Structures are given as C-alpha cells and as structure tokens.
Structure 1
C-alpha cells in the first residue's frame, strides 16, 4: 500500500531474505513469518523483497512472483511492497516486472545486469530501464546504484542523471558503499529530482550517510535490527547526534561482521545464520554456489550479535 503525500516513498525498508528448506526449496511459511517480523513494526515504511539479500540471482521467475504474492498477502495492506527485478536480459527483466505487478507489488527496483560489470554505457542503462518501464507503464520505479567496487555496474554521474529523466522513478537505493560517492549522487538527485526519495543502503555507514542527508534506507541489516535502524533514522532527523552515535555503536559490530569481514559477498549467508540463531527462520540454508557459514564465521557472528545486543524476536504490530 502506497500512502498519500509528497514523501510517500520515504522511510525504512528491510531487504528480506528468502528462507529455504534443507533441499534448497523455498520455505514460504517461514518467509511470511520473517517478513512480518521485520516489517510489521512502528516506523517501517515497507519492504524490499527479491533483492540481493533475497538471492534474486538464483531464483526462478515463478519463485520471484510467488515471493511477491506472499509479501503482499503478509504486509501489503499497510506497507509498501517493492519487488526487485534482476535479469541479464532486458526482455526477461520486463517480464519479471509484469509478473511483480500482477502479483500486487506497489513498486519495482531495477537491478543492473551483472554483465554490465564488463561494459556499460549510458545508452545501455537507459535502454534496460526503459524496456522495463514500458512493460509496466506508470508503475513506480526505484533505481539501484551499485557498489563502487562493482566495476562498470556502478552508475557514472552522467548515467545517473540521465536515469532521473524517467518520470516513473520515485526512489534510489544508493548502494555504492562509499560515503563521498553517496553524497555526490545525492546532490545530483536533489538538484534534478527533489521529489525522488534518496535512500542510504551502506549498512556499515548508515550514520554517515544519514548525516549527509537521507530520505530513508533500504537495508538487509533491518532484517536483524529493524528497531535500531528506525531509531537511528529518527535520531538523525531530530538532530540528536549523541543518540545517533550510541545507536551506531550498537549496530556497527554486527554490520561489520555481516558485510565488512572478508571474504566479500557473504552477507546473505551471514544474515540467514543470524536470523536462524535468533529463531526468526528455521535454518540458514541458501543456494549454491554460496556455501553455508563456516565455524569461524559463526563464532565471529555470535560475538558480534552479543556486542550488538541482538536477541530473540520482539513484539510487532498487527501479528
């Protein structure tokens, strides 16, 4: 459900995982419980599902559509459901977007094809997004600004500014993971499209991004610590930097363990392990080629959870 008003897409969106059984099939009941646990809370605007944390690159189109249906049934009556769209082919991505709309998603987030890491031009990015836009004309679109280490997948300022010409763009998940780059893109966005919700998503440095200026956040760390991220956002908006700093100190050990500790690319495995440890999901299964959390990783995560004060699931509204 999209609320009314000029800031209707602002706010905090957990980026959910997709729990799986031991045979790697989707556990839809656990997915509904996990989504409700982190989204049906005060201060949460919506959910980003079928994102990187949701293993969108190893799901079938049918699974992605079913994931949208479950998310909409679970939280769609009161929260915004943003569905990730990720395919190497622009035509396939357009079909994903159509199916997400059919399943009830309020908005889509367009992920760039992994092949763009080898070569990307502004014309390619515009064609990819426009192919998807035309398939779901009028549907709100979030842009995803990729990690600065993702090679040519990361938007140049020129490409980003050109994409802001797309009328359907309502938000940006800024995932470059570099604060100076974050602020540079934020300035471009606010100069050209002040109506667009520019949202931080660097889990290890949310405080720095929020102090620069942010309209919200789409982050998978909110799967594990949603209340703290809502509180951090509120403290920065209120100008209470002492409170914001204290919340940052609480969030940082777990953020570094999940996202910052080598090897890179292990966030989903570690998120699932933490959620299973908390009792939010039944187990930490994830699809190959990602292996499960190793014993040293588990020890690191357990220590980080203790340092951050992560515990069993707390109360939530509406469930």
Structure 2
C-alpha cells in the first residue's frame, strides 16, 4: 500500500531474506513470519523483497512471484511492497516486473545485470530500465546504485542523469558503500529530481549518511534490528545526535560482523545465521554456492550479537 503525499516512498524498508529448509526449498510459512516480524512495526514504511539478501540471483521466476504473493498477503495492506527484479536479459527482467505487478507489488527495484560489472554504457543502462518500465506502465521504480567494489556496475553521474529522465523512477537504494560518493549522488539527484527518495543503504555507515541527509533506507540490517534502525533514522531527523550516536554504537558491531568482516559476499548467510540464533527463522540454510556459517565465522557473529545486546 502506497500512502499519499510527496514523501510517500520515504522511510525504512527491511530487505528480507527467504528462509529455506535443509533441502533448499523455500519455507513460505517462515518467510511470512520473518516478513511480518521486521515490517509490521512503528517506523517501518515498507519492505524490499527479492533483493540481494533474498538470494534473488538463485531463485526461479516462479519462486520470485510466490515471494511477492506471500509478502503482499502478509504486509501489503499497510506497508509498501517493493519487489526486486534481477535478470541478465532485459526481456526476462521485464517479465519478472510483470509478475511482480500481477502479484500485487507496489513498486519494483531494478538490479543491473551482473555482466554490467565488466562494462556498460549509459545507453545500455537506460535501455535496460526503459524495457522494464515499458512492461509495467506507471509502476513506480527504485534504482539500485551498486557497491563501489562491484566492478563497473555503479552508475556514473551521466548514467544517473539519464535514468532520472524516466518518470516512473521514485527512489534510489544507494548501496555504493562510500559516504562521500553517497552525498555526491544525493546532491546531484536532489538538484534534478527533488521528488526522488534517495535512501542511504550502506548498513555499516547509516549514521554518517543520515547526518548528510537521507530519505530512508532499504537495508537488511533492519531484518534483525528494525526498531533500532528506525530509531536511528528518526533521531537524526529530529536533531538528537547524542541518541543517534548511541544507537550507532549499538548497531555497528553487528553491522561490521555481517557486512564488513572478510570474506565479502557473505551477508545473506550471516543474516540467516543470526535470525536462526534469535529464533526468528527455523533454519539458516542458503543455496549453493554459498556455504553455511560455521566455526570461527559463527563465533564472530555470536560475539557481535552479544555486544549489540541481542
């Protein structure tokens, strides 16, 4: 459900995981419980599902559609449902967007094809997004600004300017993971499209980005600590920096353990481990090629959870 008003897409959106059984089949009941647990709370505007945390790159098209259906049934009456769209071929991504719309999603987030990490031009990015927009006329679109270490996938300023000419674009998940580049992007977007919600989404430095200015976040850290992430956002907007700093000090050990500790690319497995430790999901299984969390990695996460107060 999209609320009225010019700030309708602002706010905090947990980026959910998809719980699986030991045989790697989706556990839809556990998914519904997990989604409701982190989303149906004060200060939470909506949910991003079928994102990277939701293992969108190893799900079938049918599983992605089912995930949208379960999400809409669980939280769609009162929260915004943003469905990730991730496919190497633009035409396949367009079909995923159609599925999401038919299943009840309020908006889609477009992830660039992984091949774009090698090289892409503004024309390629624009064609990919316009192909998807044409398949779902009028459906709001979130852009995804990729991690600074994701090869050449991140948008250049010229590419971002071109994408902002698409009228369906309503928000940006800024996942570049660099505070300075985040602020530069935020300023550039606000100069051209002040209506677009620029959402700081680097889980390890939310505090710094919020102080620069942010319209919210789409972050998987809110799967585990939704109230604390929402409170941090609110404290900065209200100018209560001592409270914001104390919330940052609470969040940071776990954020560093999940997203910062080497090796990279382990966030989903670590999120699932923590959620299982907390009893929110029954099984921490992740689909191959990601291995499960064990040994020193498990002990690191348990220590960070204790330090965070979980």
TM-score using structure 1 length? 0.97
Aligned equivalents of 1:199, 1:257: Cα separation in 2: 22
- Contiguous gaps of at least 5 residues in structure 1: 311-319
Does residue 1:99 correspond to 2:99, yes or no?
yes
Aligned position for 2:129: 129
Does residue 1:261 correspond to 2:261, yes or no?
yes
Aligned position for 2:18: 18
Aligned equivalents of 2:115, 2:144: Cα separation in 1: 15
Aligned position for 2:210: 210
- Secondary structure of the residue that 2:94 maps to in structure 1? helix
Aligned position for 2:71: 71
Aligned position for 2:153: 153
Does residue 1:184 correspond to 2:184, yes or no?
yes
Aligned equivalents of 1:117, 1:170: Cα separation in 2: 24
1:161 deviation in Å?
A: 1.2
Aligned equivalents of 2:54, 2:276: Cα separation in 1: 15
Deviations 1:211-249 (A, max 9, x none): 000000000000000000000000000111110000000
Aligned equivalents of 1:58, 1:198: Cα separation in 2: 28
Aligned position for 1:174: 174
Aligned position for 2:55: 55
Deviations 1:12-63 (A, max 9, x none): 0000000000000000000000000000000100000000000000000000
Query: Which aligned runs of 4 or more in structure 1 are off by greater than 4 angstroms?
Result: none
Q: How do 1:151-300 and structure 2 match up within 5 A?
A: 151-300=151-300
Q: In the comparison of the two structures, how many residue pairs are matched?
A: 310
- Alpha-carbon RMSD across the aligned residues, in angstroms, is 0.4
Deviations 1:259-312 (A, max 9, x none): 0000000000000000000000001001000000021011000000000012xx
Aligned equivalents of 2:155, 2:296: Cα separation in 1: 35
Aligned equivalents of 1:161, 1:253: Cα separation in 2: 36
Aligned position for 1:108: 108
1:152 deviation in Å?
A: 1.0
Aligned equivalents of 1:127, 1:56: Cα separation in 2: 21
TM-score using structure 2 length? 1.00
